[in-house]
Amino acid sequence: MDNKVLILHNIISPYKTLLFNELYKLYDKITVLYMAETEKNREWNINKDELQFPYEIMFKGALDNVNSLRLIIKTWERLNTINPKVIIIGGYSYITYWICFFWVKVNKKKIILWSASNEEDKNRLFLKEKIKSSFVKNCNAANVYGKRSKDYLAHLGLKENKIFITGNVTNNYFYYNQTINLRKKKEILCNQLKVPFHNFLYIGRFSKEKNLLFLLNAYKRLNDNNWGLILVGNGPQREEIEKYIADNSIKNIFLPGFKQKEEIPTFFAISDVFVLPSIYEPWGLVVNEAMAGELPVVVSRKCGCYPDIVKDGENGHSFDCFDKDKLYTLMRDIVKGEYDLRKMGECSLKIINNYTPENAAKVIIETINFVLKNNDQQNCQDSLVS
């Protein structure tokens, strides 16, 4: 029996490539269908040589430039041609995922939902939640990053025995080894980059949902010249951030711009604590990366990775992203030496070592087998009835 599995994904994402490679090692009937190569707001390099699995790309260039009607028609055509038994979709935010949903129902196939949402990551509208509930309840199974995502899908109506937690994963080996080697020359690197020896670090987009003005306000109140704040990234809020820094005369803020994956360990090596203050963050994969670099993490409770990998008092701390005093107090106590940062960093590494592409792939294969087994049972029942 041909148990072909198709993964429909939006764009080529370096962090997903690791997972797809591991999946293909375990299940060679998998094909990945990308909607397009990239999106306008993505600056990472794409290396197709790293894709060690069968794949197709429906449209070259940025997904933002693709006409919705063309995307719908092309998706339906590719589904008919590939004719998979199981389709895995990355959520419900793209029209193509809904096309897959209808194609599956028309052709009596199976669908697995990958979801990163949790109930608190956005304001929820009643009508949209009812529509999502209808979608979710009709999926055959789901993979989620963490417990809060599982709870949300259960709330929307999917049975808990159909929801499998994979965790969100990155290349722990790369970030650990590169960071540890670079950290041996931390003082030299700090001098070269003209930053203090002790630093808080943020990596990500410069956009309002990342809450960077909130972080800057907390840092400004420290008024400590021995600690710097490094903000790695770029985005639509950059000018506003630069103006805020200038207007408030905040010292020791460093904006090195967007950096590719290969450059990130340098910033882990020269930093002491990673901070993610987001008011909306489905997971926060950069937290995994920082933990693999043996850093303590201070994370907003709106981030989906809390509390799965962020353990208060063990490998870092969480905070309310609207409580100005809490983040300031945490940063102040860190600066004052109230926490054993080395021990917290070691705890980060221990926790994140369980979050690997290999382990996530095993859970996804378990989910595929669950769906296929249920399909065989249903076929058997249908045969008996007829």
Cα–Cα nearest to 135, from 107, 163, 102:
102
Q: pTM for the whole thing?
A: 0.93
Task: Report the pLDDT value the prediction gives residue 376, as an integer from 0 to 100.
Answer: 56
Instruction: Give the model confidence (pLDDT) of 277-325 as tens digits.
Output: 999 999 999 999 999 999 999 999 999 999 999 999 999 999 999 998 9
Report strand pairing: 163-165 vs 198-203.
unpaired
Spatial CB neighbours of 243, under 8 Å, sequence gap ≥ 6: none
Task: Report the pLDDT value the prediction gives residue 189, as an integer from 0 to 100.
Answer: 98
Task: List the domains of the chain with CATH numbers.
Answer: 5-169+356-385 (3.40.50.2000), 172-352 (3.40.50.2000)
Confidence of residue 377 (pLDDT cuts 50, 70, 90): low
R_g (Cα) of the chain, nearest Å: 22
Q: Choose between 225 and 346: higher pLDDT.
A: 346
Task: Report the pLDDT value the prediction gives residue 378, as an integer from 0 to 100.
Answer: 54
Report how far residue 273's alpha carbon sits from residue 271's, in angstroms, rounded to the nearest whole number.
Answer: 6
Task: Report the pLDDT value the prediction gives residue 2, as an integer from 0 to 100.
Answer: 79
Indicate whether 120 pLDDT > 90.
no
Instruction: Give the model confidence (pLDDT) of 183-199 as tens digits.
Output: 999 999 999 999 999 99
Summarize the confidence of residues 165-179 as an average pLDDT: 97
Q: Contact 211/235 with Cβ under 8 angstroms? A: no
Indicate whether 386 pLDDT > 50.
no
**Rounded to the nearest 5°, which phi and psi values hold at 370?**
-60, -45
Write the DSSP assignment of 242-302 as a string of letters: HHHHHHTT--SEEEEE---GGGHHHHHHT-SEEEE--SSBS--HHHHHHHHTT--EEEETT
Indicate whether 216 pLDDT > 70.
yes
**Residue spans of beta strands (DSSP E) within 145-197:** 163-165
The H or E element spanning position 230 is strand 227-232
Instruction: Give the model confidence (pLDDT) of 59-92 as tens digits.
Output: 999 999 999 999 999 999 999 999 999 999 999 8
Write the DSSP assignment of 345-371 as a string of letters: HHHHHHHHTT--HHHHHHHHHHHHHHH
Task: Report the pLDDT value the prediction gives residue 217, as an integer from 0 to 100.
Answer: 97
Confidence of residue 385 (pLDDT cuts 50, 70, 90): very low
Summarize the confidence of residues 159-184 as an average pLDDT: 97
Task: Report the pLDDT value the prediction gives residue 22, as an integer from 0 to 100.
Answer: 97
Categorise residue 232: left if φ over 0, alpha if ψ from -120 to 50, beta otherwise.
beta
Indicate whether 379 pLDDT > 60.
no
Summarize the confidence of residues 201-211 as an average pLDDT: 97
b/e map 174-198, b = 16+ CB within 10 Å:
bbbebbeebbeeeeebbeeeebbeb
Confidence of residue 382 (pLDDT cuts 50, 70, 90): very low
Indicate whether 1 pLDDT > 60.
no
